[in-house]
Amino acid sequence: MQKRKLGNSNLEVSALGLGCMGMSSAYGPPADKQEMIALIRAAVERGVTFFDTAEAYGPFANEELVGEALAPLRDQVVIATKFGFDIDPGTGSRTGGLNSRPEHVKAVAEASLKRLRTDAIDLFYQHRVDPDVPIEETAGAVRELIQAGKVKHFGMSEAAAQTIRRAHVVQPVTAVQSEYSLWTRDPEAEVLPTCEELGIGFVPFSPLGAGFLTGKIDTNTTFHSTDFRNISPRFTPEARQANQALVDLLGQVAAEKQATPAQISLAWLLAQRPWVVPIPGTTKWSRLEENLGAADIELTPEDLRAIENAAAKILIQGARLPEAVLKLTGR
């Protein structure tokens, strides 16, 4: 597996990471814990060194899973986790929305360190920007955690360019994580240029469009009652039908490259910038193998132009997230 550096930092990770959220939440019931531990360790054997979790996934259960899986391999991997929500430590229920007050950030770090079975968090993201707390105060809290040796790098998730700039003055931002794929290209307008200017790495989550870009979902696909795609505007039957044109395009390129639509989607992201590191998630061994195969696919400038020209003619239908969730992003 090739390695990439996240921006100008010294944080080197595998070109493709593993998003672990779906093992515990968002896509239906949690997967079998022992199977997921085996899957995470198999990813390490195949060269993956970058693993993404958060206290909010579960809540707490995903950090515990990742911590247990990677404890024997800790010196080989980079673990990213996130703070920023008010979650009751006893019940695991969200009690008051967002919370990036400095004292809360420090308390979350201590709890995450225990669940992750480690003495330092490699990359600590603010999960969502808290409008009630100046970003300078939050970044200052992470700076203090870095000075104390409890955190190594600061990250931000779904933040707007100006907020990233303000935070970066207080504590250099190593990575920004936002949704980015061929069907969600919002970061291209301001966030990616800002990352390039400031030397910040970019980590696309949901690089396969919550599974849609794999070509395995159509208008007849049904999801478990607890799967967030049931309430996603982009996954209504009408939107799926309209958005199938993008999957068809990926299928055409994949046929030429003897690859799969998922692999072309990931290869496209890898080709955007040398400091972009997608984190596709999966609970299936076969999908892990498929996703990692994307790192070996080279898209030529001609390939990329052809994809760009064809994609420009496709109007993606439906917002990427429900309106209430979208309000928490891009601030």
Rounded distance, CA 275 to CA 195, Å?
A: 9
Nearest to 108 by CA among 74, 70, 77, 138: 138
Q: Could you give the C-alpha distances from 51 to 47, 59, 124, 163, in angstroms and in order?
A: 12, 17, 12, 25
pLDDT at residue number 122: 98
3-state secondary structure of 236: coil
Global pTM reads 0.98
pLDDT of residue 90: 81
DSSP string over 37-97: HHHHHHHHHTT--EEE--TTTTTTHHHHHHHHHHGGGGGG-EEEEEE-EEE-TTT--EEEE
pLDDT number for residue 88 = 87
Residues 52, 27 contacting (CB under 8 angstroms)? no
Q: What is the rounded end-to-end Cα distance, in angstroms, of the chain? A: 34
Domains of the chain: 3-210+263-298 (3.20.20.100)
Q: What local confidence, expressed as pLDDT, does residue 65 receive?
A: 98
CA-based R_g, the chain, Å: 19
* pLDDT for the residue numbered 89: 84
Q: What's the pLDDT at 158? A: 98
Output the pLDDT for position 96: 67
Regions of the chain with pLDDT less than 70:
95-96
Q: Is 125 a catalytic residue?
A: no
